[in-house]
């Protein structure tokens, strides 16, 4: 059972080491993330990019370049295609975005013939949040990719969160489907979808977890609020996973945690054949390592 994000590191080190493939590793941000993960024993690293730039960064930062395998491909579009082909040949287990535009990176993953998204799957985003004011880790979706998921997409999003929770040692996660109120409000799509998802869980159409909704956020994460409002059930006040109705709500929740609650997080794209790490220049070194460790556990 992984109770906090730091627990992921020894768990990853005890398992067979995965290979991280960084696409267009032409900046300090990307090289540093891969170097620290490789130096810590979390992963093997392959850097695809401009070999001269990568060598210069390693010299300036005093990184041991022997920890990497470097593949020279300065063109970012071709670097993305080459990385995806490596994954398809099982020469890598995790993808990571480097200094490449997001649209070119995602386009290579989504290519219908040579990409990594199998038919019927969707690409979504899962974040694990460690908030000092909550008693355990929270697995949340989607804070970065899907603007307005429909009911079918929400079913898949739940399955992705459940797999992530399983990788953290949570055998049967409790999923709260978030809406403005625990009351069913027919005028709100979020409320109706939440009710459908709960029924699908009860009928066995969604498996491997306990689904409850519609559920207001305070009910999902605060046992006292649930008690005051007379809301019972195993999920109330003890949710492992939070499914948000749209990108607006998920993104605001994530940034509120990060900026006002000083939370820590790990995040990845899911739905493709392998997990994909999308770190930001604004992310701390620790956040990058957490994200790589999470992707390693899930892979």
- Containing 77, the helix (H) or strand (E) segment is helix 76-88
The pLDDT value recorded for residue 279 is: 79
> Closest by alpha carbon to 30, among 20, 42, 19, 40?
20
Considering the domain delimited by 124-264, tell me its CATH architecture.
3-Layer(aba) Sandwich (3.40)
pLDDT at 149: 98
Cα–Cα distance, 219 to 236 (Å, whole number): 6
Beta pairing class for 68-72 and 210-215: unpaired
38 exposed, middle or buried (CB, 10 Å; 0-12, 13-18, 19+)? buried
pLDDT of residue 280: 76
SS3 141: strand
Rg (the chain; Cα; Å): 20
pLDDT of residue 284: 85
Delimit the domains of the chain by residue range: 5-120+272-298, 124-264
Q: Which CATH class is domain 5-120+272-298?
A: alpha beta
C-alpha span between 167 and 208 (Å, rounded): 13
pLDDT by residue for the chain (299 residues), tens digit each?
Answer: 899 999 999 999 999 999 999 999 999 999 999 999 999 999 999 999 999 999 999 999 999 999 999 999 999 999 999 999 999 999 999 999 999 998 999 999 999 999 999 999 999 999 999 999 999 999 999 999 999 999 999 999 999 999 999 999 999 999 999 999 999 999 999 999 999 999 999 999 999 999 999 999 999 999 999 999 999 999 999 999 999 999 999 999 999 999 999 999 999 999 999 999 987 777 888 999 999 999 999 99
For residue 267, which of 183, 161, 178 has the smallest C-alpha distance?
Answer: 161
pLDDT at position 285, please? 86
Find, among 140, 100, 92, the residue nearest to 116 by Cα. Answer: 92
Q: Are strands 210-215 and 174-178 parallel, antiparallel or unpaired?
A: parallel
Q: What is the pTM of this model?
A: 0.95
Q: What is the pLDDT of residue 218?
A: 97
How big is the CA angle at 293 (ends 289 and 295), to the nearest 5 degrees? Answer: 120
Rounded to whole angstroms, how far apart are CA atoms 92 and 88? 8
How far apart, in whole angstroms, are the C-alpha atoms of residue 173 and residue 124?
A: 19
Strands 241-243 and 138-141, sheet pairing: parallel
């Amino acid at each position: 059972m992984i109770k906090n994000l730091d627990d992921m590191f020894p768990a990853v080190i005890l398992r067979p080491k995965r290979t991280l493939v960084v696409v267009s590793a032409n900046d300090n941000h990307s090289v540093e993330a891969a170097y620290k993960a490789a130096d810590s024993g979390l992963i093997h690293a392959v850097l695809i990019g401009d070999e001269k730039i990568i060598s210069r960064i390693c010299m300036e930062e005093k990184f041991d370049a022997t920890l990497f395998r470097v593949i020279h491909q300065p063109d970012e579009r071709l670097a993305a295609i080459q990385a995806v082909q490596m994954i398809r040949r099982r020469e890598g287990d995790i993808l990571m975005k480097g200094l490449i535009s997001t649209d070119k990176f995602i386009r290579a993953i989504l290519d219908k013939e040579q990409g990594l998204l199998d038919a019927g799957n969707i690409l979504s985003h899962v974040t694990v949040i460690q908030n000092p004011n909550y008693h355990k880790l929270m697995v949340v979706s989607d804070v970065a990719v899907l603007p307005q998921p429909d009911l079918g997409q929400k079913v898949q999003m739940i399955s992705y969160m459940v797999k992530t929770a399983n990788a953290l040692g949570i055998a049967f996660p409790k999923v709260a489907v978030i809406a403005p109120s625990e009351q069913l409000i027919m005028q709100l799509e979020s409320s109706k979808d939440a009710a459908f998802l709960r029924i699908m869980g009860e009928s066995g159409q969604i498996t491997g977890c306990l689904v409850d909704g519609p559920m207001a956020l305070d009910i999902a994460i605060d046992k006292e609020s649930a008690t005051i409002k007379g809301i019972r059930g195993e999920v109330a006040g003890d949710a492992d996973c939070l499914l948000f109705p749209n990108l607006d709500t998920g993104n605001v929740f994530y940034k509120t945690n990060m900026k006002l609650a000083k939370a820590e997080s790990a995040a990845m794209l899911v739905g493709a054949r392998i997990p994909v790490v999308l770190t930001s220049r604004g992310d701390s070194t620790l956040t990058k390592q957490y994200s790589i460790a999470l992707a390693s556990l899930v892979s």
